Amino acid sequence: MAGITPSLTSSSRSAGLVRTSIEKLYLSLQRLTENTIEDIVNRSVNHKNMNNHNDLNINNKYKVLFVCLGNICRSPAAQGIFEHIVRENGMTEKIAADSAGLYGGHAGQHPDRRMRTAALYRGYGLTHSARQVRGYDFNDFDLIVAMDDQNYEDLMHIAPSVEATHKIRRMAEYLTTHKISYIPDPYYMGVEGFGLVLDLLEEGCQNLFDSIVKAESL
């Protein structure tokens, strides 16, 4: 039995070294992925924002504004998913989108790194630069979509006219298979939370797109 002990000790050390190597490799890949996403965002955000501004000034487009609290998680993800659907359906000449937050403290920032990572794994590149909701958004956009009830109430409160309130909708109104009345904020929910939000937004944005095309006869 005494002769077996060194072998077991050696095996344990080898297993430990392998485990450590795997953990280091995982962390390196994670950092590489995050840096790659950051590089993609940095190289494209200015070009994206310029094009988006020009697109939204074209009067014959149906324009949608997605709104959450800080404009760094839910609303930029909704914008990215919705724009992807618009492109896939060849409707970029007829429909445009943007996003904004009711809180202006994140103005100029990129979407949350965790949301960008989760979205990129699904094929959505989020390049939006955060901004606060502005008074003239109620005139510039045909539809304003709130992520949760508080966002909805705040938008209704700051809307400049009764007519403007008719443009405000809840994102959850466009959910059919998911039985939930709002889009939760994933900021404190962990990885699973970001995945859930993307699931909800994919369904909601597709149904929203379909409803616009039908209602506007596009």
205 in catalytic set = no
Task: Write down the residue that tokens 């109104």 correspond to.
Answer: 173
Q: Using alpha carbons only, give the angle 63, 217, 151 rounded to the nearest 5 degrees.
A: 35
Q: Which of 112, 137, 148, 185 is catalytic?
A: 185
Distances from the Cα of 205 to the Cαs of 3, 65, 100, 102, 202, in angstroms?
66, 12, 16, 20, 5
| Active-site pick, 73, 74, 137, 148 | 74
148 carries an active-site annotation:
no
Q: What are phi and psi of 169, to 5 degrees?
A: -135, 160
**CA distances, 50 to each of 23, 46, 76, 89, 93 (Å):** 41, 6, 16, 23, 16
Annotated catalytic residue, options 68, 137, 170, 205: 68
- Annotated active-site residue 185? The verdict is yes
Find how far residue 98's CA is from the centre of its chain: 11
Q: How far apart, in Å, are the Cα atoms of 107 and each of 62, 114, 117, 131?
A: 25, 18, 20, 5
134: closest CA among 162, 167, 99, 108? 99
Q: Is 71 left (phi over 0), alpha (psi -120 to 50) or beta?
A: left
- Active site amino acids: 68, 74, 185
